[in-house]
């Protein structure tokens, strides 16, 4: 059973509305599913120490919107998705009207279509991850996939890459594309072992200060690959809104009152963090929460938004998508590494056409924290 909490800091929001919004968020994140039963009015009112009429008002509002259903003797449950054609048609019409109304409102406020698409892509990626409960796989592979018309990308999590995959699915629905978040090193190892068509990486070499190329040459020796630049990204500290603990930099990670959430071993962000900690003579054992690992930037931002940690290293776009603060520290390069034999395949060429388009560059730039001035440039190395 999910727990509803009322916030004193949100005193300007009526109590019933706080209940309504939290239940909607639980459903959107998959923590409440169709058919699940909610607490009784008396039980919820007692646990929240509020008047039962406030809970009744919240439940009635959700019933009016078709989100909850009250059944005599059966309590209040999350509305099930009926598959009767007439109901399905009404649901689709309602969805279309909601989207249309939101677009109209945004356009009337002066937002450009590419700004809308960037914001939509960013927040949809966050909710997909919330619903899946993990960031490892974006889409499940089907049991029967034609290798000639498929692309498997293994590597580091990136929101611009999410957008790229979505655009390819829309433009070329016949192409099967899958992304597995296994970290930058995991992506290169997958290429090395022939288990991927391309890798998404952002790996800083400590000796040269160069991104990606030294790792490619070391892990893929004597193999010709194309390195396609996706974007430069702003990496920094993701912080709770308002930065209540006044964290100013990596040196604050050693403070006993600061708890961090970390990225997994093998991720480019973890490689960068560990390198910078060594420069500052900070030991992992000095940091509270260093061993707490998640697989994506969005998972870092979500953990901080939920109050589970005070800070984490991640990209600006993830912070924006979770409505938390961001302190920029580093500029890094994110590339796609593609073996030349795959680089010439039809699915990959379709992907590259999107990367090189002006539209893609504009939308990625609008997501926030990205520099697309060199997006699409390609270098062949062996």
**Residue pLDDT tens, the chain, 382 long:** 678 888 766 567 889 999 998 898 888 777 888 888 899 999 999 999 999 999 999 999 988 888 888 877 668 888 866 555 655 676 677 778 888 888 888 888 898 888 888 888 888 887 777 766 544 443 444 444 566 789 999 999 999 999 999 999 989 999 999 999 999 999 999 999 999 999 999 999 989 999 999 999 999 998 999 999 999 999 999 999 999 999 999 999 999 999 999 999 989 999 999 999 999 999 999 999 999 999 999 999 999 998 999 999 999 999 998 889 999 999 999 999 999 999 989 999 999 999 999 999 999 999 999 999 999 999 999 8
How far apart CA 375 and CA 354 sit, in angstroms, is: 11
- Residue 136 has what pLDDT? 43
- Residue 82 has what pLDDT? 55
- Residue 214 has what pLDDT? 95
* SS3 call for 325: strand
- Residue 9 has what pLDDT? 61
Tell me if 134 sits within 8 A of 160, measured CB to CB: no
- Residue 70 has what pLDDT? 82
- ∠ CA 322-326-329, nearest 5°, is 140
- CATH code at 147-381: 3.40.190.290
Tell me if 337 sits within 8 A of 382, measured CB to CB: no
- Residue 142 has what pLDDT? 43
- Residue 33 has what pLDDT? 84
Every domain of the chain with CATH number 3.40.190.290 lies at 147-381
* SS3 call for 48: helix
Considering only CA atoms, which of 175, 122, 135, 161 is closest in space to residue 335? 161
Q: Tokens 């190892």 map to which residue?
A: 189
- Residue 90 has what pLDDT? 66
Considering only CA atoms, which of 242, 237, 278 is closest in space to residue 261? 237
Every domain of the chain with CATH number 1.10.10.10 lies at 8-78
- Residue 137 has what pLDDT? 40
- Residue 143 has what pLDDT? 41
- Residue 81 has what pLDDT? 61
- CATH code at 8-78: 1.10.10.10
Which pair of structure tokens corresponds to residue 162? 């999410």
How far apart CA 179 and CA 136 sit, in angstroms, is: 8
The model carries a pTM of 0.74
């Amino acid at each position: 059973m999910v727990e509803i909490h009322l916030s004193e800091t949100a005193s300007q929001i009526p109590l019933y509305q706080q209940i309504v919004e939290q239940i909607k968020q639980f459903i959107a994140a998959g923590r409440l599913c169709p058919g699940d039963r909610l607490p009784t009015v008396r039980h919820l009112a007692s646990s929240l120490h509020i008047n039962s009429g406030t809970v009744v008002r919240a439940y009635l509002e959700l019933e009016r919107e078709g989100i909850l259903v009250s059944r005599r003797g059966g309590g209040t449950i999350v509305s099930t998705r009926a598959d009767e054609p007439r109901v399905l048609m009404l649901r689709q019409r309602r969805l279309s009207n909601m989207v249309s109304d939101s677009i109209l409102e945004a356009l009337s406020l002066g937002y450009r279509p590419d700004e809308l698409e960037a914001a939509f892509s960013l927040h949809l990626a966050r909710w997909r991850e919330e619903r899946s409960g993990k960031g490892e796989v974006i889409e499940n592979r089907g049991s029967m996939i034609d290798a000639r018309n498929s692309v498997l990308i293994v590597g580091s999590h990136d929101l611009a890459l999410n957008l790229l995959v979505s655009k390819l699915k829309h433009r070329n629905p016949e192409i099967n594309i899958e992304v597995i978040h296994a970290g930058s090193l995991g992506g290169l190892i997958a290429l090395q072992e022939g288990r991927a068509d391309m890798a998404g990486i952002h790996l800083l070499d400590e000796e040269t200060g160069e991104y990606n190329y030294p790792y490619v040459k070391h892990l893929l020796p004597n193999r010709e690959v194309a390195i396609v630049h996706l974007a430069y990204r702003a990496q920094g500290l993701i912080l709770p809104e308002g930065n209540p603990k006044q964290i100013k930099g990596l040196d604050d990670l050693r403070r006993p009152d600061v708890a961090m959430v970390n990225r997994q071993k093998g991720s480019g962000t973890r490689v960068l963090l560990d390198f910078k900690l060594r420069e500052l003579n900070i030991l992992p054992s000095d940091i509270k929460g260093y061993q707490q690992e998640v697989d994506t930037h969005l998972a870092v931002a979500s953990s901080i938004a939920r109050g589970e940690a005070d800070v984490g290293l991640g990209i600006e776009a993830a912070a924006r998508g979770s409505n938390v603060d961001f302190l920029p520290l580093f500029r890094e390069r994110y590339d796609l590494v593609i073996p030349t034999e795959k680089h010439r395949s039809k699915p990959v060429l379709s992907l590259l056409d999107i990367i090189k388009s002006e539209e893609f560059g504009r939308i990625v730039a609008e997501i926030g924290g990205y520099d697309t001035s060199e997006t699409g440039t390609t270098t062949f190395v062996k």
